[in-house]
Amino acid sequence: MAFMLSDCLDTKHFPLPRQYRRLVNLSSAADVGRTAPHERSSVGHLVKISNTGTVLDCGAGVTILEAALDAGVAYPHGCQSGNCGACKSNLLDGTVDMEGYSEFALMDEERDRGLILACRAVPDMPCEVAWLDEDDLIVHPRRILSTTVTAIDDVTHDIKRVLLDVNSGGPFTFSAGQFASVSFEGAPARDYSMANRPDDRQLEFHIRRMPGGNTSAHVANNVKVGDKARVEGPFGTSYLRESHRGPILAIAGGSGLAPIKSIVEHALARKLPQHIHLYFGVRNERDLYLEQHFTTLAAANPTLHFVPVLSEPGGATSRRTGLVHEIVGRDFDDVDGCKAYVAGPPVMVEAATKLLTARGMRRIDVHADAFYTAAEMQAAGKKTGAQM
Ligand SMILES: Cc1cc2nc3c(=O)[nH]c(=O)nc-3n(C[C@H](O)[C@H](O)[C@H](O)COP(=O)(O)OP(=O)(O)OC[C@H]3O[C@@H](n4cnc5c(N)ncnc54)[C@H](O)[C@@H]3O)c2cc1C
Ligand code: FES
pLDDT tens, position by position, 43-73? 899 999 998 999 999 999 999 999 999 999 9
Ligand positioned closest to the Cα atom of 102: 2
**Where do the H-state alpha helices sit in 178-256?**
215-221
Specify the pTM.
Answer: 0.81
Q: Is the CB of 215 under 6 A from ligand 1?
A: yes
Contact 223, 201 (CB under 8 A): no
- Is 10 a residue whose pLDDT tops 70? no
Mark which of 188, 203, 237 sits at the end of a domain.
237
Residue 385 identity (one-letter amino acid): G
Q: Which residue has the higher pLDDT, 260 or 382?
A: 260
- Is 136 a residue whose pLDDT tops 50? yes
The Cα–Cα gap between 7 and 91 comes to: 10
Q: What is the arithmetic mean of pLDDT over 312-325?
A: 96
Q: Is the CB of 47 under 6 A from ligand 2?
A: no
**Over the chain, what is the mean pLDDT?**
87
Share of the chain above pLDDT 70, in %: 89
Listed residue (281, 308, 312, 311) closest to 294, CA to CA: 308
Looking from the CA of residue 209, the nearest atom of ligand 1 is: 26
Mark which of 106, 132, 158 sits at the end of a domain.
132
Ligand positioned closest to the Cα atom of 179: 1
> Looking at residue 339, which CATH number applies to its domain?
3.40.50.80
- Is 3 a residue whose pLDDT tops 50? no
Q: Distance, CA 339 to ligand 2 centroid (Å)? A: 28
SS3 label, residue 144? strand
Contact 338, 246 (CB under 8 A): yes
- Is 192 a residue whose pLDDT tops 70? yes
Q: Is the CB of 17 under 6 A from ligand 2?
A: no
Query: pLDDT (tens digit, 9 = 90+) per residue, 65-110?
Result: 999 999 999 999 888 999 888 899 999 999 999 999 988 888 887 8
Q: Is the CB of 79 under 6 A from ligand 2?
A: yes
Q: What is the arithmetic mean of pLDDT over 24-32?
A: 27
The pLDDT assigned to 19 comes to 26
> Looking at residue 226, which CATH number applies to its domain?
2.40.30.10
Q: What is the arithmetic mean of pLDDT over 183-188?
A: 96
Q: Does residue 384 belong to any structural domain of this protein?
A: no
The pLDDT assigned to 41 comes to 58
Produce one character per residue of 115-125: b if its CB has 16 or more CB atoms within 10 Å, e if not.
bbbbbbbbbbe
Q: Is the CB of 213 under 6 A from ligand 1?
A: yes
Q: Distance, CA 187 to ligand 1 centroid (Å)? A: 12
Share of the chain above pLDDT 90, in %: 72
Ligand positioned closest to the Cα atom of 103: 2
- Is 211 a residue whose pLDDT tops 50? yes
Reported confidence tier of residue 34, pLDDT bands at 50, 70, 90: very low
Q: Distance, CA 122 to ligand 2 centroid (Å)? A: 14
- Please count the structural domains in the chain: 3
Q: Distance, CA 244 to ligand 2 centroid (Å)? A: 25
Residues belonging to the chain: 388
Q: Which domain holds residue 352?
A: 248-378
Mutate to test the pocket of ligand 1, among 154, 174, 192, 257 (most ligand atoms within 8 A of CB): 192
Cα dihedral sign, 332-337-341-345: positive
Q: Distance, CA 365 to ligand 1 centroid (Å)? A: 26
Ligand positioned closest to the Cα atom of 115: 2
Q: Is the CB of 195 under 6 A from ligand 1?
A: no
Q: Does residue 43 belong to any structural domain of this protein?
A: yes
Query: pLDDT (tens digit, 9 = 90+) per residue, 327-386?
Result: 999 999 989 889 999 999 999 999 999 999 899 887 778 999 999 999 998 887 777 888
Mark which of 193, 218, 237 sits at the end of a domain.
237
